[in-house]
Structure 1
């Protein structure tokens, strides 16, 4: 043996002796540093909660989106197929239920291999040690002092937790590749199934991927994945976990060919709006940082009123109206009885533009704003049959404002009552109406009915010259349809934490902002717009 070998082996022997002393003579209570944390005996209590993805569901419980930094969703051990557990224990820790968190035989075997190699090449880690390493040691070190600390913590954890809890925690922690952390995400991403439904071939592939997730990735290295799966199946056969025929059948099973999409970010406007609202809702947490951590790490369960059938119909209606990509359109579909937003068409397609025209885009609403002026008029004593001049062009003079000139879109005008002026969308009639009411009353009515953008009190607002979003106008018209009861837009019907505890529900009764009589009268007038007026094409 050369001097160089002596210099290398002596520290390794010293480290091995230190490890043996720690393992054989561990006191009942001990203190140890790991990753900057001092442990005084209770290791399990120091484990922080795993980062879990947030899942967003539609009104029927179908998943429409996921948000997170790591694709993980924890499951109970009882929800994992026994064959998956068998494959894992066979390839990673055959004596899991017999060892005390550290396999002394494996440590000794690894130690002598390290001596022969002249450095730390093999760790002899049990599942418990791997769990400790994944949860407490983030830096990729391979030193004997690190192995000593891992072993000490593993022994303590094994004494604190039942074996099945350690196994469950491991299955929910370990990385399987392709961005999937934990068995739930891995089963979904690789096989579009749940852990309970995994078969032998699938379980062997996943168990075999743990040591080298990228090298055994079936999408990027199918030959390596096949070889590793075959190795795991062979090991399972050797220990009697499977029969020869089961092994043969699993060997012949094809690899997954449906490459999973990385979908831990919004891929449609509705999910993006849900994310935006979660990040800004103080009911979730006090600060934005706390809300961010809960949304992207907290494993929230978000129930929404999103209706996929309504969404398809809304998108089809927009496509028929604007068949080319030269222009864009937006639409918000709201239930007047409760404010639930059922569908959202918000731009040219989320892959082209992530700006949400339906909720954030401010566009001039044009003549649809006349409904707000009409509500103010009816509330202030005007009746359906009151006459008003619609002659065009018209010059509007109001104290405190510069003269304003406008004209009708069609025709020279005449005398109209409120119903006919609305059905024909007569600009000059509505210009004179706001002059009689005063712009302030119309501005205040806009706010009451659901407009959240600032509405300056000047005459031309009656023709929809200010910027509002389609969602705001949907709220206005929903308030009228609900006989004067305003509901704020609801994108989240129920929010639960990772344990299923309800954080909040949006089941507000609504607020009366307009008398039922005024709302019913206006609804009757607006129905005439569709039946015989300028909105007949909407039928």
Structure 2
């Protein structure tokens, strides 16, 4: 009896434990369910609804796109992200992701039950259980998990619910694409497109297997597995090999492929994407200002302002990435050689006031003091740090660690050094700078824009911001006015004699008597010969006949907005004008007398492809077709028998060797029609060349920041030596790229031509032939 009673009690006790077990188990199940319900109701924090899931909030960089479909750069603050679709991802990239992060991705609905159970049983020792969908949910909506166990559990619940909702909202392919687009790969590589461009300099669809494996390996920890040169190459390579092993494990690749690729190096092509690096940096900065103005004037439909850095705008520009590269390459080829000669002539032994010429010591001190007060260092200390003028001035004389720009072996280089800021300012003033712009005269589309040699160290844009005296490149405008008003022919002759315009005739207080570079006066010259050889006295005769106001008005109609005083001296190029303005003006001649305002932006779209802006051409008739054509023919004489003949082949085997080292690339051997004009200002401070073919007009300026820094002689200081070689190298590369279709044809003649342009018979009788240098751009210093 007692035994039976005991057995009954034991049975009741066991039943009690069973009930407790099931009660606890079901309570746990209901608790988990309740936690998930609370999470879905937003009890643990706001949960995204279906509208947010359809349009998750991510910062998207604004993309700058060239006319040939290449990305020139981006505008962004923190997120350099440009999304791509699943169809732009190579299969090997998708396979690498699935094999490494979520092998059963295509079989579950957001939660991998098998993986979750494995993680619970092994307490995470066998790997995590987060699916790609869960990782995307974490990236999109709540970021890194908390270290607090309770908060981590609650975040995990939210993550599961969001993952399930994402699976319902999107296809598997869309989830993969979003995951690649959202991830931060480090070094401003936000999203797969930026990562592939920065680490391998290619678009995602061009990634090969081992490149894809490296990028997928970074999902584990992009800070630890940072491919940036000098960071963790061994760790990155080992992690990449783990991805390849996973791809072999799940039969995406063979063992032979795995073994061979694991032995290879990373083979990075590290190409940082920053605002001061890459292609078309000066143009991008111009575009930033353009966009700020556009955004101010064009709000969103709801009245809010567009964000240049976060709204994922797409700006379609006229810049051709190929021509932009050729332009930058031409600058990089010519400028270090020219700079080397400038340094050679301006050593302290040869020039105690280097880099300045013709200045006394007190003048140099005043110049440096003015520059000091215009510097960014002064502005920062004065207005941000509230320092006194004395404290700021003292700081310029204290040695400081800095990076300075230098040409080393013909390449732009940064050198770490210790230097007084005042000395670095003087050092930078010794550098020659350049501005270059190239434009289709018929459409106004700007094809290349080079505002300087290196944006990081020389941020002042010499295409549109900078304005310099233009010298003889202004003379064609004087000739044009004479042709237009007086119907002059290139064959008309003028006496080659000294010429003066009396005082007060055009408001000029003194008599104006310009001189030629060489005083070999006598006989007559045709207008063709006079322009080709840049004869000042004949240009003075022309402006006296048409009047300075006529020329100034013509300049304004040709798109020159800078101040052009109506005085006789403008005939020789005394006004300060930008490269941008000069290219626009010259394009009118190549476009049969029609001025077309330069265009840089064709279309602006939002992230969904909706067009927000489309440019409208701005044109106006300025000259008759005949006047424009005759002017072009006059400027062809410059490249056939004047200062621009260096573009041809005649006689260049006789030039001395040391000169050729500076202007390497000669002869250019151009045989096609080219119209142009060189320009050199007083003391060789500015060198210009404006060159035209029927469908491309390009202007180049070279000079130092201060006019007191210049070559001592005309040999190197003329436009034909400083600027023309850049044009020549650029055009050679453009012609070599036949896809660009740069014209080699003659300029289009008007149907009716009443002005005689054939001076072949008359030229035989000229006292000074077209190929006799007799100007500011003389070649007398060369050994022929």
Structure 1 length-normalised TM: 0.78
Unaligned runs of 5+ in 2: 1-26, 300-304, 344-431, 649-784
CA contact (8 A) 1:68 1:296 kept: no
Unaligned runs of 5+ in 1: 1-13
1:225 and 1:480 map into 2 onto residues whose CA distance is: 58
Q: What residue is the counterpart of 2:36 in the other structure?
A: 23
Q: What residue is the counterpart of 2:134 in the other structure?
A: 129
1:286 and 1:468 map into 2 onto residues whose CA distance is: 28
Pick closer, same or farther for the CA change 1:304–1:493 going to 2, 3 Å. Answer: farther
Correspondent of 1:370 among 465, 470, 475: 475
Matched, 1:524 2:633: yes
1:335 to partner: Cα distance: 3.2
1:430 to partner: Cα distance: 3.8
* Partner deviation per Cα, 1:438-495 (whole Å, 9 max, x = no partner): 4333222111112132323344322211211223222222212222111222445666
1:49 to partner: Cα distance: 5.1
Correspondent of 2:459 among 354, 357, 374: 354
Matched, 1:228 2:335: no
2:208 and 2:512 map into 1 onto residues whose CA distance is: 76
**Greater RCO structure (CA 8 Å; 6+ sep):** 1
CA contact (8 A) 2:532 2:635 kept: yes
Pick closer, same or farther for the CA change 1:277–1:206 going to 2, 3 Å. Answer: closer
1:433 to partner: Cα distance: 4.3
1:209 to partner: Cα distance: 1.7
Q: What residue is the counterpart of 1:208 in the other structure?
A: 217
Matched, 1:88 2:97: yes
CA contact (8 A) 1:54 1:68 kept: no
1:404 to partner: Cα distance: 4.8
* Partner deviation per Cα, 1:333-365 (whole Å, 9 max, x = no partner): 333333344444543444652333233221100
Pick closer, same or farther for the CA change 1:77–1:513 going to 2, 3 Å. Answer: same
CA contact (8 A) 2:498 2:513 kept: no
* Partner deviation per Cα, 1:225-247 (whole Å, 9 max, x = no partner): 34433444444555555554454
CA contact (8 A) 2:312 2:607 kept: no
Matched, 1:336 2:441: yes
CA RMSD of aligned residues (A): 4.3
1:17 and 1:206 map into 2 onto residues whose CA distance is: 41
Superposition map of 1:117-196 within 5 A? 124-137=129-142, 141-142=146-147, 143-144=151-152, 145-192=154-201, 194-196=203-205
2:337 and 2:233 map into 1 onto residues whose CA distance is: 45
1:40 and 1:238 map into 2 onto residues whose CA distance is: 38
Matched, 1:48 2:57: yes
1:419 to partner: Cα distance: 5.2
Q: What residue is the counterpart of 1:273 in the other structure?
A: 283
CA contact (8 A) 1:330 1:358 kept: yes
Q: Which secondary structure state, in structure 2, belongs to the residue aligned with residue 176 of structure 1?
A: coil
CA contact (8 A) 2:319 2:448 kept: no
2:574 and 2:457 map into 1 onto residues whose CA distance is: 28
Q: Which secondary structure state, in structure 2, belongs to the residue aligned with residue 398 of structure 1?
A: coil
Q: Which secondary structure state, in structure 1, belongs to the residue aligned with residue 185 of structure 2?
A: strand
Q: What residue is the counterpart of 1:248 in the other structure?
A: 259
CA contact (8 A) 2:185 2:218 kept: yes
1:17 and 1:100 map into 2 onto residues whose CA distance is: 22
Correspondent of 2:341 among 316, 324, 333: 324
2:56 and 2:317 map into 1 onto residues whose CA distance is: 26
CA contact (8 A) 2:313 2:604 kept: no
1:160 to partner: Cα distance: 2.3
1:291 to partner: Cα distance: 6.4
1:391 and 1:199 map into 2 onto residues whose CA distance is: 72
1:202 and 1:348 map into 2 onto residues whose CA distance is: 33
* Partner deviation per Cα, 1:45-80 (whole Å, 9 max, x = no partner): 341355146254465x55555554544443332333
Greater Rg, structure 1 or structure 2? 2
Pick closer, same or farther for the CA change 1:216–1:442 going to 2, 3 Å. Answer: same
CA contact (8 A) 2:314 2:604 kept: no
Correspondent of 2:319 among 300, 304, 308: 304
2:315 and 2:298 map into 1 onto residues whose CA distance is: 16
- Count of residue correspondences: 515
Pick closer, same or farther for the CA change 1:318–1:113 going to 2, 3 Å. Answer: same
Pick closer, same or farther for the CA change 1:18–1:430 going to 2, 3 Å. Answer: farther
1:212 to partner: Cα distance: 0.9
Correspondent of 2:578 among 453, 461, 469: 469
Pick closer, same or farther for the CA change 1:46–1:525 going to 2, 3 Å. Answer: closer
Correspondent of 2:551 among 431, 442, 460: 442
CA contact (8 A) 2:584 2:597 kept: yes
Q: Which secondary structure state, in structure 2, belongs to the residue aligned with residue 460 of structure 1?
A: helix
Q: Which secondary structure state, in structure 1, belongs to the residue aligned with residue 561 of structure 2?
A: coil
1:295 and 1:375 map into 2 onto residues whose CA distance is: 49
CA contact (8 A) 1:495 1:504 kept: yes
CA contact (8 A) 1:97 1:163 kept: yes
1:175 and 1:16 map into 2 onto residues whose CA distance is: 37
Q: What residue is the counterpart of 1:479 in the other structure?
A: 588
2:310 and 2:615 map into 1 onto residues whose CA distance is: 18
1:206 and 1:316 map into 2 onto residues whose CA distance is: 35
CA contact (8 A) 2:464 2:579 kept: yes
Q: Which secondary structure state, in structure 2, belongs to the residue aligned with residue 354 of structure 1?
A: coil
CA contact (8 A) 1:42 1:156 kept: no
1:43 and 1:494 map into 2 onto residues whose CA distance is: 29
CA contact (8 A) 1:102 1:126 kept: yes
Pick closer, same or farther for the CA change 1:466–1:194 going to 2, 3 Å. Answer: closer
Q: Which secondary structure state, in structure 2, belongs to the residue aligned with residue 358 of structure 1?
A: coil
Pick closer, same or farther for the CA change 1:320–1:506 going to 2, 3 Å. Answer: farther
1:264 to partner: Cα distance: 3.6
1:510 to partner: Cα distance: 3.9
CA contact (8 A) 2:282 2:451 kept: no
Structure 2 length-normalised TM: 0.56
1:169 to partner: Cα distance: 1.0
Matched, 1:515 2:624: yes
Q: What residue is the counterpart of 2:267 in the other structure?
A: 257
1:282 to partner: Cα distance: 8.1
CA contact (8 A) 2:138 2:159 kept: yes
1:32 and 1:390 map into 2 onto residues whose CA distance is: 95
Pick closer, same or farther for the CA change 1:301–1:94 going to 2, 3 Å. Answer: farther
2:260 and 2:646 map into 1 onto residues whose CA distance is: 62
Pick closer, same or farther for the CA change 1:237–1:528 going to 2, 3 Å. Answer: closer
